[in-house]
Chains A and B, each alone.
Chain A
Amino acid sequence: MRDTSETEIAVAGQTAIKFTAKDVDVFYGETHAIRGVNVDILDKTVTAFIGPSGCGKTTFLRCLNRMNDTIPICRVTGDIRLDGEDIYDRRVDPVQLRARVGMVFQKPNPFPKSIYDNVAYGPKIHGLAKNRAELDGVVEDALRRAALWTEVKDRLKEPGTGLSGGQQQRLCIARAVATNPEVLLMDEPCSALDPIATAQIEELIDELRENFLVVIVTHSMQQAARVSQRTAFFHLGDLVEYGETGQIFTNPHDPRTESYITGRIG
């Protein structure tokens, strides 16, 4: 950690810091899932969380939009700030936070409704569109940003669950971007997809970076190397190393990172 902090500050000078986490611990009942994580995540980047199964990367990701609140036995301590504002503050409404910090899940999970309704749901409940025409615009825009518009524009009324796996996942991305979030969290978004669909999603992630911060949890180190600018390596609940992706993969400072990257642990 200490070694990387200087490079971090150097990079931080170029882009704004979006998320700051200080001494974050997460407990599931008695289990200490995450230990003292400190990290600054930069805006308009793709940041990848890598690490072996059960290392806490998904748990930490779910802290960033307070999805862990829905698990009764889960307890989060420490300080997580979004644009300098403590997201665990009493005055912050987790429901609104989740509209600002969108999320895409491991398994495509479209609502069993039409494609249109899937995308329109978020804007509707947050009152982002004044009338039907505006809503149509929001839906089209979100589907375009998720690179799905040309494939589905003629069948918006058909159920979202009838699409292929890759299309469903892009529909979920469209649904997440439709509320105009600042951050997009992705929890292994390609793990249930074939290589072609994966390539489409990765390309899409790269485009999304222009507008928001994307934080992606992935099992595939190649994927982290392909899509991310910054990478964090988690191991057994510790954030072992965090830095520029190139540096992490070519010149890791921590021996554990090196072991994982080269396939000796994991």
Chain B
Amino acid sequence: MTKTNIEAAGWSSDASRLNLRRRRRSETWLKGAGLVAISLAFLMLFTLVASLFATGYQAFRQTHVTIEVTVPAEVTDPGDANWRAIVREAVARLFPEAGDRELRGLSDILSNGAQYIVRDRVSANLSLIGQTFEVKVPVSDPYDQLNKGLIDRATPEANRRVSDDEIAAFDQLVEAGRITRPMNWALLTNVDSRFPELAGLKGALLGSFYALLTCFVISFPIGIGAAIYLEEFAPKNRLSDIIEININNLAAVPSVVFGLLALAVFLNWFGLPRGAPFVGGLTLALMTLPTIIIATRAALKAVPPSIREAALGVGASKQQVVFQHVLPLAMPGILTGTIIGLAQALGETAPLLLIGMNAFITAAPATPFESATALPTQIFIWADSPERGFVSRTSAAILVLLGFLVLMNALAIYLRNRFERRW
């Protein structure tokens, strides 16, 4: 038998020490590489979120102007009055010295929706007829940008959205203390609009909610049922192997393919309504199913065999073992997988574009069968809009979407920790 190096030289030899140093060095290298990788990932995440906040925070506030409206006593039906004239009169009161010609331009300071806001206020409270009262209405987008400092006053007048006269008029309002910048709740409570200052996410939020609800109601029971059958009851043979491989592959199919499938089957063949959250939910369910099946199977597999044996040992049937012992123990894992699948579905855009959930819709859906947008498609629409105000609103909508995703993932983590069992 030949002696090894160590035996020949001993543990305290130079060769041994060198070997040790080399091992330590490679370990340090590995640690360093890991740290660099994590730092890079965090840096990118930070850059993304920071840039979203940097542009998006502006959209969480909206410039308003307080106007004094007088509703003539002869108005009988708020639905039929000339609100446009009433609002113009209020603008004239803001600028007493302006002539008729100038007033037409100055009316543009107010949002196009001002007249409807006044109308709705009076409709809700008919005793305002014949009175003079103050209303806060949003200013139109260029003035909102101006107030937020997004329009540079140093830019030559010809290249600016607002003229020098318009700036002067606006500054006059600022000095009079009529300009405020409150929280922009309209971002969540309004539906979509061509005018950025009026556009909100209500329709998209409801659309996403209905789509996710449909997706959950369909994919959760089917996914769990399929997983239970495959994991617990299916014979282990070639056929079940093929099914398993196909389900795993299904999880990797590009989402746009599901969109095309939904377009061909749900819309063209079944004739379901275009752009309805229900159809969106069906499409998302197709994509969520493999995620739920895979997560459920993993959770079922993780239940220790001793529990199955114990239940079988007291004479429980296969079905009793699965439904009374294995499934309850696997539930935290199943719920975690389901929520992560739904979170994925929430952010999915491509299939929804194909089934028409990217239309311009100015009414919130009352049922899942009415046309609507979803959060990601709304972001898509806004990102595509030319108005300056949609830049910050797009970022704000992305932040809202990310907020929901974080919430859902937090719920998944909470459920996992809350119901995790130890053996």
Chain A contact residues, CB within 8 Å of chain B? 65, 67, 70, 72, 95-100, 102-105, 107, 109-112, 121-122, 125-126, 161, 172, 175-176, 178-179
| Given A109-B306, A112-B329, A70 and B423 contact (CB-CB distance below 8 Å) | no
Judge if B314 is at the interface, Cβ distance under 8 Å.
yes
Judge if B320 is at the interface, Cβ distance under 8 Å.
yes
Residues in B neighbouring A161, C-beta threshold 8 A: 422-423
CB pair A109 B314 closer than 8 Å: no
CB pair B306 A121 closer than 8 Å: no
A208 to chain B, nearest CB (A): 16
| Given A112-B329, A125-B320, A98 and B310 contact (CB-CB distance below 8 Å) | no
A146 to chain B, nearest CB (A): 14
Chain B contact residues, CB within 8 Å of chain A? 235-236, 304, 306-317, 320, 324-325, 329, 421-423
Cα A105 to Cα B309 in complex, Å, equals 8
**Residue from the set B307, B310, B314, B317 with the largest chain A CB neighbour count within 10 Å:** B314
Residues in A neighbouring B315, C-beta threshold 8 A: 95-100, 122, 125-126, 179
Residues in A neighbouring B422, C-beta threshold 8 A: 161
Cα A178 to Cα B324 in complex, Å, equals 18
Pick 6 A–B contacts, CB within 8 A, sort by A. Answer: A65-B313, A98-B312, A105-B306, A110-B310, A125-B316, A178-B314
Cα A121 to Cα B310 in complex, Å, equals 11
Residues in A neighbouring B308, C-beta threshold 8 A: 70
Cα A37 to Cα B32 in complex, Å, equals 62
CB pair A121 B307 closer than 8 Å: no
CB pair B314 A105 closer than 8 Å: no
B21 to chain A, nearest CB (A): 44
Cα A99 to Cα B311 in complex, Å, equals 10
B236 nearest CB neighbor, chain A only: A72
CB pair B320 A67 closer than 8 Å: no
A109 nearest CB neighbor, chain B only: B306
CB pair A111 B311 closer than 8 Å: yes
A185 nearest CB neighbor, chain B only: B313
Residues in B neighbouring A179, C-beta threshold 8 A: 314-315
CB pair A176 B314 closer than 8 Å: yes
Residues in A neighbouring B324, C-beta threshold 8 A: 121, 125
**How many A-B pairs fall under 8 Å by CB?**
67
CB pair B306 A67 closer than 8 Å: no
B330 to chain A, nearest CB (A): 12
A65 nearest CB neighbor, chain B only: B313
A112 nearest CB neighbor, chain B only: B421
Residues in B neighbouring A110, C-beta threshold 8 A: 310
A192 to chain B, nearest CB (A): 11
A48 to chain B, nearest CB (A): 20
CB pair A70 B307 closer than 8 Å: no
CB pair A109 B309 closer than 8 Å: yes
CB pair B307 A107 closer than 8 Å: no
Cα A65 to Cα B312 in complex, Å, equals 10
A166 to chain B, nearest CB (A): 17
**Residue from the set B236, B310, B325 with the largest chain A CB neighbour count within 10 Å:** B310
A122 nearest CB neighbor, chain B only: B314
CB pair A107 B306 closer than 8 Å: yes
A34 to chain B, nearest CB (A): 20
CB pair B313 A95 closer than 8 Å: no
Residues in B neighbouring A96, C-beta threshold 8 A: 315
B319 to chain A, nearest CB (A): 10
Cα A119 to Cα B397 in complex, Å, equals 55
Residues in A neighbouring B312, C-beta threshold 8 A: 67, 70, 98
Given A112-B421, A125-B315, output 8 extra A-B contacts at Cβ < 8 Å: A98-B312, A98-B313, A109-B309, A110-B310, A122-B314, A122-B315, A176-B313, A179-B315
CB pair A67 B311 closer than 8 Å: no
B308 nearest CB neighbor, chain A only: A70
Which 8 A/B pairs are nearest by Cβ-Cβ distance?
A: A99-B315, A122-B314, A109-B306, A103-B313, A98-B315, A109-B310, A95-B317, A112-B421
Cα A178 to Cα B350 in complex, Å, equals 58
Residues in B neighbouring A98, C-beta threshold 8 A: 312-315
Residues in A neighbouring B329, C-beta threshold 8 A: 112
A118 nearest CB neighbor, chain B only: B310
B422 nearest CB neighbor, chain A only: A161
Cα A111 to Cα B311 in complex, Å, equals 8
B332 to chain A, nearest CB (A): 12
CB pair A67 B314 closer than 8 Å: no
Residues in A neighbouring B311, C-beta threshold 8 A: 111, 121
CB pair B316 A105 closer than 8 Å: no
Cα A109 to Cα B310 in complex, Å, equals 6
| Given A70-B312, A98-B314, A109 and B236 contact (CB-CB distance below 8 Å) | no
| Given A112-B329, A112-B421, A102 and B306 contact (CB-CB distance below 8 Å) | no
| Given A112-B329, A161-B423, A105 and B313 contact (CB-CB distance below 8 Å) | yes
Cα A110 to Cα B324 in complex, Å, equals 14
Cα A65 to Cα B314 in complex, Å, equals 10
Cα A70 to Cα B306 in complex, Å, equals 13
CB pair A105 B317 closer than 8 Å: no
A249 to chain B, nearest CB (A): 30
A178 to chain B, nearest CB (A): 8
A72 nearest CB neighbor, chain B only: B236
Residues in B neighbouring A67, C-beta threshold 8 A: 309, 312-313
| Given A112-B423, A125-B320, A99 and B309 contact (CB-CB distance below 8 Å) | no
Partner of B310, one of A95, A99, A111, A178: A111
